[in-house]
Amino acid sequence: MTDTTDTWQVGDKTYGSRLIVGTGKYKDFEETAAAVEASGAEIVTVAVRRVNVMDPNQPMLVDYLDPKKITYLPNTAGCFTADDAIRTLRLAREAGGWDLVKLEVLGDQKTLYPNMVETLEAAEVLIKDGFKVMVYCSDDPIMAKRLEDLGCVAIMPLGAPIGSGLGIQNPVQLRLIIEQTSVPVLIDAGVGTASDAAIAMELGCDGVLMNTAISEAKNPVQMARAMKLATEAGRAAYLAGRMPKKKYADPSSPLAGLI
Amino acid sequence: MSFVITITVNGDEKRISEGQTIADYIIGLGFDPTKVAVERNREIAPKSTFNTQVLSAGDTLEIVHFIGGGNNA
């Protein structure tokens, strides 16, 4: 059973699920909705794009995932400058009417690594403009601190390059960021399978964000459920506190009274 | 008689009849104004002004909505 008292907060809202899922790369909106349902996510990331003027009757995401029931987190995926990201999120705020957003300014097509100079610049402008900014960032603790000091409401370092599915490659850096940060820390990008999500949560972060690990699984809906369980398991293990690692064996049965 | 003006919508030039508000134009295209956001000449057009902002020749509009997206999607 899910521990209903173990919640976290971002913006003005409290959430029970520590898994945020992206809504891109699915076969169709039915599959997107089914995967989100199976993941138990209460927040989903969405992108802002031009409407197709020639085809107003195309299905819309809002018809499959109700923004009144699930928090839409507009992102700036695909933006490579602070200016583009700011413009995109201003439109997102107008489209949705909420100010909780995910800022992501990329620096390189091949690695999709965040451009931290542009990210800092955009974060400053957006925060002054009243946005609540959850920020995708590098795993550099100094940069993470700068973003927190600017007023970002969540720090979201990568665990491995976006879409790589390589798993958590940087537990040392992530742990430093988690230890020093007083707003929620979510590991954003890098998760490939359920054990990666558990490892991320065992580090003590507040949540994980993923898209490709679910949407590119052979059975996305089943993987969504696996990610839900793994996120919960990792969180529970973190709260329980793991046993210390030892160099040699340590018997589980008492040695006293052996025949 | 009504005059025709040229505006740019999502990067493409469109010829439309003069005197339309943003709301007239969006609804005319077949979209639900509550599900889109509009930028006019790089300034946000608040939804509350869709009925009062009349389009002018040379305007540049961006009409956007939410689509599925994760990281860089």
pLDDT tens for residues A179-212? 999 999 999 989 999 999 999 999 999 999 999 9
Q: How far apart are CA A146 and CA A134, in angstroms?
A: 13
- What confidence score (pLDDT) does residue B72 get? 53
User: Which residue carries 């025709």 as its tokens?
Assistant: B4
Contact of A177 with A148, CB cutoff 8 Å: no
| Cβ B62 vs Cβ A91: under 8 Å | yes
Residue type for position B62: E
ipTM for the whole predicted complex goes beyond 0.85: yes
What's the pLDDT score for residue B71?
64
Q: Between B8 and A251, whose confidence is greater?
A: B8
B36 touches chain A (CB under 8 A): yes
pLDDT category at A255 given cuts 50, 70, 90 is confident
Find, in chain A, the residue whose alpha carbon is nearest to that of B44.
A91
Which class for A150: exposed (0-12), middle (13-18), buried (19 or more C-beta within 10 A)?
A: middle
**Cα–Cα dist A84/A122, whole Å:** 9
Residue type, A87: R
Contacts of A58 (CB under 8 A, 6+ apart): A52
Taking all residues of chain A, what is their mean pLDDT, rounded to a whole number? 92
The pLDDT confidence band at residue A27, using thresholds 50, 70 and 90, is confident
**Residue A1, pLDDT score:** 47
Tell me the chain B residues in contact with residue A45 when contact means C-beta distances shorter than 8 Å. 69-71
Q: What is the mean pLDDT of residues A233-259?
A: 91
Distance CA A32, CA A247 (A): 46
**pLDDT at position A4:** 61
Write the residue in A47, A87, A188 that is nearest to B67 by C-beta: A47
Q: Is A85 exposed, middle or buried (0-12, 13-18, 19+ CB in 10 A)?
A: buried
Q: Distance between CA A150 and CA A62 in Å, rounded? A: 32
Distance, in Å, from the CA atom of A165 to the CA atom of A248, rounded to the nearest integer, reads 33
Q: Quick check: A62 pLDDT over 90?
A: no
pLDDT of A105 above 90: yes
A156 pairs with which residues across the strands? Answer: A136
Nearest chain B residue (CA) to A156: B71
What does residue B15 show for φ and ψ, rounded to 5 degrees? -105, 120
Q: Are A174 and A157 in contact (CB under 8 A)?
A: yes
Run means of pLDDT, 10 residues per run, chain B, 73 residues: 87 92 92 90 92 94 87 55
Chain A residues inside the 8 Å CB shell of B46 = 94
C-alpha distances (whole Å) from A43 to each of A2, A17, A70 are: 17, 8, 6
In the prediction, which pLDDT does A3 show?
53
Whether residue A40 is annotated as binding a ligand: the answer is no
Say how many CB pairs under 8 Å bridge A and B: 129
Query: Residue A257: what pLDDT?
Result: 86
Catalytic site includes residue A102: yes
Q: Which two tokens stand for residue A163?
A: 């879409």
Report CB contact under 8 Å: B36, A95.
yes
Least confident of A162-166, A240-244, B49-53, B67-71: B67-71
Residue B21: burial class (beta carbons within 10 Å; 0-12, 13-18, 19+): middle
